[in-house]
Amino acid sequence: MTGVASISPERLWSRLMELGRDGALPEKGVNRQALSAEEILSWRRIIAWGAEAGLKPSTDPAGNLFLTLEAKFPHLSPVVTGSHVDSQPTGGLFDGVFGTLAALEAVTAIAEAGMIPDRPITVVAWMNEEGSRFAPGMMGSELFAGKRTMDEIMVVKDAAGISVAEALAAVHAAFPDIEHRPLGFPVHAYIEPHIEQSDVLERAGAVIGVVSGIQGKKTYEIIISGREAHAGTEPMERRQDALQAFVRMALRMQQDMAIDDVVKFTIGRLEIQPNAPSVVPSSAVFRIDLRHPDNAVLDRLGLRLEAIVTEEAHPCSFHIKRLVDAPSNTFDEGLQSAIRHSAGRHGYSALDLLSAAGHDARQMAPLAPSAMIFIPCRAGLSHHPDEWAEPEHVAAGAAVLLDLLLEQTGLSQKYGDAS
């Protein structure tokens, strides 16, 4: 006997709060870096919750975590749904975790109803979406999608000199009993719920965001090399001060990037050497994060940034590393329409919008019909301990996801409305 699948808002909320303990910061928020001990703790919780619903855990060479609900036709390609559980150093309780746990909740609801989907449903937590410990972000989904190679990623090191390969070995060693599958597999559809990380939904009073696409993004690492010298004796005109070269670049970039009200330009990371009060800095290494929904504009601004580095570096030398170059993309129209209809059935007001933030769904879109379901994020504040989503919005996002999973796996259920 199969019943009607429905999510448990209370269970989903309590799990969200519980996961916030892994890497909890002293006051609030979390620091749960990719492939860290804190992320291992979160994997344990998620695998245990999945086991309660009969989901089978597996991982791959990229360190992605999968939990699969078996199907009537187990060899059909799965519907994949989820997000990530790593956070920024001062992250909140919802970014990534909401999508992962909403996916787990929706699949759990199907399993608890005794329903058997036509094709498998796989909950995913992608490796290193944030890119704050190991750069760039989206490593797990990019490896899955073949956008980067294992050779290229495994040698990336964190600030402490630990490589992705070493950190990944530690994670895999912590889970000796779960299945290791090869990298990449055919996907029937991909659906990622996420908090909006901006305040478009909140301002519009909408509950569900139907994401049309993700704005383009370029990231760079710029290395400026000067010459260290004594701050009290080296004449100003002879200095090769790497920090002052940075300052000249950063000010012109800030001015030249301010072309409209949708561009986003950020220098979030900067390290100078030797970083001593009375030594002229010999090097400055910084990261640029540039986003714009219009690919032509994004490309033009990227060229402008590179020109500024070239023009302002003197008398220092420089090196420009292009880390990410992701154009804007468009999500599947059919899935967008399904999200809109599900929201309507539940009485949630929905709004079409573009994602300003990057997400793993960007990598999945070329592989399979893909979509994102946004819920509001208080004041648009994300990557911050104060990040917040309302319990009723969390439940709404999971309920819409459940509808989509049922439709995608031949389980569409009757609704109590008049249609």
Tell which one of 263, 297, 320, 368 touches a copy of itself (CB under 8 A).
Answer: 263
Asked if residue 130 belongs to a known ligand binding site, the reply is yes
Backbone torsions φ then ψ of 246, nearest 5 degrees = -55, -45
- Residue 383 as a binder of a copy of itself (CB under 8 A): the answer is yes
Query: Could you identify the residue written with the tokens 């920024």?
Result: 88
- Greatest pairwise CA separation for the chain in angstroms: 85
Segment 23 to 82, residues that bind a copy of itself, using CB under 8 A:
none
d(CA 46, CA 48): 5
Please give the Cα distance from 155 to 163 (Å, whole number). Answer: 6
For residues 227 and 331, give the distance between their C-alpha atoms in angstroms, rounded to a whole number: 49
Smallest distance, a copy of itself to C-beta of residue 72, A: 40
Tokens of 370: 């893909």
The β-bridge partners of 67 are: 57, 123
DSSP label at residue 277: T
Smallest gap from Cβ 276 to a copy of itself, in A, equals 4
Q: CB of 90: closest distance to a copy of itself in angstroms?
A: 5
Q: Tell me how far, at minimum, the Cβ of 406 lies from a copy of itself, in Å.
A: 31
Known binding residue 10? Answer is: no
**61 cis-preceded (ω within 30 degrees of 0):** no
What the block records as the tokens of 156 is 């990336």
Count of residues touching a copy of itself (by CB under 8 A): 68
| Binder of a copy of itself out of 83, 100, 197, 342 (CB under 8 A) | 197
Applying CB under 8 A, does 275 fall inside the site for a copy of itself? Answer: yes
Is 292 among the annotated ligand-binding positions? no
Minimum gap (Å) between residue 212 Cβ and a copy of itself: 15
Tell me whether residue 383 is annotated as binding: yes
Distance, in Å, from the CA atom of 92 to the CA atom of 194, rounded to the nearest integer, reads 13
Beta-ladder partners of 317: 225
Q: Determine if 194 is a binding residue for a copy of itself (CB under 8 A).
A: no
The stretch among 9-17, 38-46, 124-132, 302-310 that binds a copy of itself (CB under 8 A) is: 124-132
Residue 325 binding a copy of itself, by CB under 8 A: no
Ramachandran sector of residue 99 (left: φ over 0; alpha: ψ -120 to 50; beta: rest): alpha
Task: Identify the sign of the CA torsion 19, 22, 28, 29.
Answer: negative
Of 53, 178, 204, 279, the one binding a copy of itself by CB under 8 A: 279
Position of tokens 């940075």? 246
Helices (H), 258-375: 295-312, 333-346, 361-364
Which window, 46-54, 88-96, 146-154, 342-350, contacts a copy of itself (CB under 8 A)?
88-96
Q: Which of 146, 268, 315, 366 binds a copy of itself (CB under 8 A)?
A: 268
Length of the chain: 419
Subset of 221-260 contacting a copy of itself (CB under 8 A): 227-237, 241, 243-244, 246-248, 250-251, 254, 258
**Nearest CB to a copy of itself, comparing residues 50 and 137:** 137
Q: Which residues are annotated as a binding site?
A: 84, 95, 130, 194, 383
Q: Which residues make up the interface to a copy of itself (CB under 8 A)? A: 88-90, 130-132, 135-137, 196-198, 215, 217, 219, 227-237, 241, 243-244, 246-248, 250-251, 254, 258, 261, 263-282, 287, 289, 291, 356-358, 380-384
